[in-house]
Structure 1
Amino acid sequence: MDRISDADRPMPRLEEQLCFAVYLAGHAFNRVYRSVLAELGLTYPQYLAMLVLWECDGLTVKAMGERLMLDSGTLTPLLKRLEAAGLIRRERDREDERQVRLYLTAQGESLREKGRCVPDSMARALGGAVDSRDRLLEQLNALRDALLAATEPA
């Protein structure tokens, strides 16, 4: 059986690339989220940080970074903006001064109720099909896990 050399293989088209489809889907998500989150006064990364704190108030910055897969250089400016907006406060841990803990302010806590509408708004944007949303979420999580596993040292 003859093998086709790389030089003889046609160049893949942009539209055939999975990475490009994910990239464009990400842009489309951001566009929808931008309009939905404008009512909350949050950017998408700020919304993610608030979601984490709504789940677990008092988390350390390190734990937040691990949850969001963000390094401190990216996370710190985001947290400073949330603090300046009066939504969170940062405090040194009483037992370990090296750790900084994140707490919701009363204003940040009150935003939780408004934040409850975001998943419904996104479901409407996706056509409201909850069962397909759950299946898509499962597939995307499996994709993420496979890609992360491929980048781990052997």
Structure 2
Amino acid sequence: MPDDVLALENQVCFGLAVAARSVIALYRPVLEPLSLTHPQYLVMLALWEQEPRSVKNLSDTLALEPATLSPLLKRLEATGYVERRRSTADERALEVRLTVRGRALRAEAEQIPPRIIERLGLPIADLENLRESLQAIIAAAARTP
């Protein structure tokens, strides 16, 4: 155990919070020309993997509350990247689909990861190890009541 368990630099939550803000800040100038914020980029990534998706599915996938996701989807729809419509299979479910413009954006977005990796200046192996550690932390936190 560290000498001072309450020292700021000893807190996992502090390291995660500062790292998250710092990395997201690197994305801002890269995403801006695409008219995307970082949360909107995450929605687009999920839709490029699979579409259509229900709002519930997107909410679960992105670990976002539907009330947080809804304004993101409205802005993406206003930008012309997605469309929302009622599911034909279940009228209660709202589906989100990419538009032609949203699908075309994927080709431009393929340049984002290499640009972020370059800006970070860290070896790929370190970033892969970090991603695995973060996934373990997320899983452990989800198991905790």
TM over 0.5: yes
Answering whether residue 11 of structure 2 is matched by residue 40 of structure 1, we say: no
Identify unmatched segments of 5+ residues in structure 1. Answer: 1-8
Residue-by-residue CA offset, 1:30-84 (whole Å, 9 max, x unaligned):
1101111112110000000000111112111111111001111001111011001
SS at 1:39 equivalent: helix
Aligned to 2:137: 143
Structure 1 vs Structure 2 CA RMSD: 1.4
Shift of 1:119: 0.8
The alpha-carbon deviation at position 128 of structure 1 amounts to 4.6
More helix by proportion, 1 or 2?
2
Q: Residue 17 of structure 1 corresponds to which residue in structure 2?
A: 11
SS at match of 1:29: helix
Aligned position for 1:78: 72
Structure 2 segments unaligned to the other structure (5+ residues): none
Q: Hey, what's the Cα distance between the residues in 2 that align with 1:123 and 1:79?
A: 27
**Given residue 97 of structure 1, which amino acid in structure 2 is its aligned partner?**
E
What is the rounded CA distance, in whole Å, between the counterparts of 1:125 and 1:99 in structure 2?
A: 40
* Match 2:57 to one of 63, 66, 82: 63
CA–CA distance in structure 1, aligned partners of residues 66 and 80 of structure 2 = 20
Superposition TM-score, scaled by structure 1 size = 0.88
Based on CA coordinates, which of the two structures has the bigger radius of gyration? 1
Count of matched residue pairs: 143
| Match of residue 103, structure 2, among 92, 103, 109 | 109
Given residue 73 of structure 2, which amino acid in structure 1 is its aligned partner? L
